[in-house]
Amino acid sequence: MRRLLFLNGIKAFEAAARAGSFAAAGLELSVSAAAVSRMVHILEERLGVALFERKANKLLLTQAGRAYQSGLTPIFDALASLTAQVTAPSSVRVLTIGIGHTFAMRWLIPRLSEFRSEEPDIEVRFTTGGASVPFGEDWSCGIQLGTGDWPGLVAEPLFAGDLTPVCVPRLASSLKRPGDLKAPSLIRVAHSPEDWPIWLKAASLARVNARGPEFQFYGQALQAAADGLGIAMGIRPYIDDDLTAGRLVAPFELSVPKGMRWYLLYRSFQTEQRDFAAFRRWIMRAASEPAARPVRRTGRTSARN
């Protein structure tokens, strides 16, 4: 038998973990902050582990809490998407895409109006995807970074995951060569610790160890770079629009393959479905468009140090 433990408490915890506070979770769930806190406390007692560290004016996830939330949020997203599909009128055409938040925000959403103009009758819905999330039963397709090995799924390449440092023009003006990079200014991404070592080795700077601020996701790291906090390791296609607009610049010519690509993932039978076929044609065309030439500062851009 399936053992489901205190669903109200699980729902309260997931909302509080995602929103960052009991008060915000209470607004979402239409209960008081005290009620959310009480349900989470009961859940912690039944699990036998602490999910939050409760500090003055701050709610921090414990290691167990982070692990629990990372699994729960995709489940709730999938449940909401499945419910919407089941209850939607038969005339509604729905396309559900499993996608990571950063890819959605930094590439797909800015271009989605183009697809909507071509297919205005298809309702596009996003659900939580990414490397740590299994392909959902309710997904029409997914977009993921990897090596192309997803048993049971068709994986069509979209982009090469090339790496190049990026920063604001003000910081780029002081970077004449890769050897000018300072370890404390190199912004890191927690789930991709290999990025800086790959690029630094290619730049003959293997002894430099990035020690700048660390963020969980690429989107956070790139926003920090855009705010002038340091130099982030950019990856295509996340940096394309910022480079085109000049919000970020690539101070060096050196671009290094990450060893992975972005893929469109789907089950083989999906090609027979009209809505997915239309999306597949559009995204393959959009992905094939060359990235705009990166904006670089004037001056030396050699990869030699």
The closest alpha carbon to 81, from 30, 6, 133, belongs to 133
Q: Is 241 helix (H, G, I), strand (E, B) or coil?
A: helix
Q: Which residues pair with 60 in a beta bridge?
A: 53
Q: How far is CA 15 from the centre of its chain?
A: 19
103 in Cβ contact with 261 (< 8 Å): no
Q: In degrees rounded to 5, what are phi and psi of residue 270?
A: -65, -25
At residue 132, the pLDDT reads 64
Structure tokens at 277: 């076929």
At residue 299, the pLDDT reads 37
Q: Which residues pair with 124 in a beta bridge?
A: 95
Q: H or E segment at 1?
A: none
Q: What is the DSSP letter of 180?
A: G
Say which amino acid occupies 180: D
- What is d(CA 69, CA 20) in angstroms, rounded to the nearest whole number? 12
Give 10-residue mean pLDDT values along the chain (305 residues).
76 90 89 93 92 84 90 78 64 80 89 91 83 77 89 90 92 89 90 92 89 88 92 91 91 90 89 88 88 46 39
At residue 9, the pLDDT reads 92
Give per-residue burial for 76-100: e unless 16+ CB within 10 Å, then b. Answer: bbbeebeebeeeeeeeeeebbbbbb
Helix axes 33-47, 22-29, angle to 10 degrees: 100
At residue 4, the pLDDT reads 63
Q: How many CA atoms lie within 13 A of 290 on its CB side?
A: 3
190 in Cβ contact with 215 (< 8 Å): yes
241 in Cβ contact with 164 (< 8 Å): no
At residue 127, the pLDDT reads 83
At residue 295, the pLDDT reads 45
Q: How many CA atoms lie within 13 A of 164 on its CB side?
A: 24
In 10 A of CB 177, how many CB atoms? 17
Q: How far is CA 50 from the centre of its chain?
A: 27
- What is d(CA 218, CA 196) in angstroms, rounded to the nearest whole number? 13
At residue 300, the pLDDT reads 39
pTM (2 d.p.): 0.64
Say which amino acid occupies 207: R
At residue 187, the pLDDT reads 93
